[in-house]
Amino acid sequence: MQDGHLKTILEGISKLASDKVLAEDELASLQSILVKLLSHFKDLEHVFSLILDMMHGNSRGIVNMHILDMATRNGYVHDPTTIQLLFEISQALHSDTDLVNMKNDDNQQQARLISRFVRMVDHGVEYERHLAFLMECRGALGSIIELKEILVHSSNCLATKALKDGKKHTAFVKTCIAFSEITIPSIPGHIKQLNLYLGTAEVALLGGLVSHSDGLIDSAINCLQSSDSMEGSRTLDSDGMLSSMRKLCSLLIMVPGNPELGILHIPKSILLIIHSRSWSPRLKARISCAIISLSATLSQERLPYHADHPEIMGNDLLFFGDSSYVRELLSLTESVLQNLVDVIEQEPSRAARGSLSLEACNCIASSFKVGSSHLFQINEHVLSVCSKLIETAKLCLNAKDKYLTSTISFLDKNLPAAAVSSSIAI
């Protein structure tokens, strides 16, 4: 069917429908016709208004959902007129959504369609226009939690695109970051907030905005501090928290230390926080291992990666060889090593305690290979902790356990045999 014929048919239906108020059964029939048209034809943007003019009540809501679905199923939406019409449709659906019963399947479907529409909008290089659209969505549709997350991701993506086009967009990037900072606190869930703050901090680093990045990381740390009270009666998502903390430690490799606060004040704060939480020993131990890896990485003369901005220098260029920096690294490493041993001893399950001991031992030996680490003063402590962990594992596991024997073999290759053989021999 040609578009001209389709438009003629719709105009005819519209004329007939406008002559009287349609009854419910007539609306249902019209709804069925329009939904079938939307299902079988593409590029119907030019007749959306004709379709909507015919409908009212629940039938209009159903057709609205089909229009949103059809308009976003084939890729990004670029046309400004179509974007405006779909935004108005989203507003209408949002107004009809029962926010109290958001778990209702129909309401969830509406929220998903609206969120997908916002995610699929693309204003190209008109960055300011796109950000204005995101702001309008936050004001008009902001009660949809899923949408708020999309708004933050979209804002961060927009800032990244602006930075990569080679032009000066510092003021615009700051505006995007401010938009995300304002939006994130209204999103429930400390892990979600933590990840969004970290994602926004990465964008700030990409833009050379170190102070903004520091502030965002501080906000992430505040989420971590509030985690127990925010969690309430819900079970903590241990895997999600561990993933977030590993992401934070990876990010900190790129973030220049602040001598005024202490070059390593952030990882030290993390260490204090995790051991004040009522989390499982397993989670605490694995986060401690992430901090050990971070400390070992920061001790290298050349960091494995840096912020992708010419004006941001890493800690290796700023502080390597500085005696105060070495002291901070030593202090952090010694603290986390000791706390790691204590935390593992708190694990009630013997099998889990043994497995955790070996996991920690492998992490330590991999991170601080004796003789290759620049923190030579830490070597003796590393040997002592590894010996304690192996002893714990031997008490908890069978002597022929493959994980135990392979770990001992790994230690033999990476630690001086004479120094630890008496402690780790089975």
Structure tokens of 120? 């699929």
Residue 267 domain flag: yes
pLDDT of residue 1: 46
| Confidence grade of residue 60 (pLDDT, cut at 50, 70, 90) | low
* pLDDT, mean of residues 224-247: 78
Residue in 221, 179, 201 with CA at minimum distance from that of residue 307: 201
* Residue-averaged pLDDT of the chain: 84
Structural domain harbouring 308: 259-426
Structure tokens of 85? 């019409």
Sign of CA dihedral 161, 163, 169, 175: positive
For the ranges 9-23, 42-56, 69-83, 244-258, the one whose mean pLDDT is highest = 244-258
Place of tokens 């379709």: 51
Between 413 and 22, the more confident residue is: 413
Residue 222 domain flag: no
Amino acid at 418: A
pLDDT of residue 419: 45
Residue 221 domain flag: no
pLDDT 10s digits, 306-337: 999 989 999 999 998 899 998 999 999 999 99
Contact 167, 121 (CB under 8 A): no
Between 55 and 341, the more confident residue is: 341
pLDDT 10s digits, 36-53: 666 665 555 555 565 566
pLDDT of residue 234: 61
Residue 32 domain flag: no
* pLDDT, mean of residues 56-62: 66
Residue 211 domain flag: no
Residue in 211, 194, 321, 195 with CA at minimum distance from that of residue 255: 211
DSSP one-letter code for 76? -
Residue 79 domain flag: no
| Confidence grade of residue 100 (pLDDT, cut at 50, 70, 90) | very low
DSSP string, 235-288: PP-HHHHHHHHHHHHHHHTTSPPBTTTBTTHHHHHHHHHHTTS---HHHHHHHH
Residue 170 domain flag: no
pLDDT of residue 423: 46
Between CA 330 and CA 335 the distance in angstroms is: 8
Question: How many separate domains does the chain show?
Answer: 1
| Confidence grade of residue 22 (pLDDT, cut at 50, 70, 90) | low
pLDDT of residue 321: 85
pLDDT of residue 390: 95
Structure tokens of 210? 């170190």
Does the pLDDT value for residue 358 go beyond 90? yes
pLDDT of residue 171: 94
pLDDT of residue 333: 92
DSSP string, 1-55: --HHHHHHHHHHHHHHHHTSPPPHHHHHHHHHHHHHHHHH-S--GGGHHHHHHH-
Burial environment of residue 378 by CB neighbours within 10 A (0 to 12, 13 to 18, 19 or more): buried
| Range with the poorest average pLDDT among 63-72, 151-160, 246-255, 266-275 | 63-72
* pLDDT, mean of residues 285-301: 94
Does the pLDDT value for residue 210 go beyond 90? yes
pLDDT of residue 230: 46
* pLDDT, mean of residues 3-23: 62
For the ranges 10-24, 103-117, 363-377, 399-413, the one whose mean pLDDT is highest = 399-413
Do you know the residue count of the chain?
Answer: 426
Residue 150 domain flag: no
Does the pLDDT value for residue 4 go beyond 50? yes
Structure tokens of 71? 């308009």
Does the pLDDT value for residue 408 go beyond 80? yes
| Confidence grade of residue 425 (pLDDT, cut at 50, 70, 90) | very low
How much is the CA Rg of the chain, to the nearest whole Å? 29
pLDDT of residue 166: 74
Does the pLDDT value for residue 350 go beyond 50? yes
Between CA 34 and CA 26 the distance in angstroms is: 12
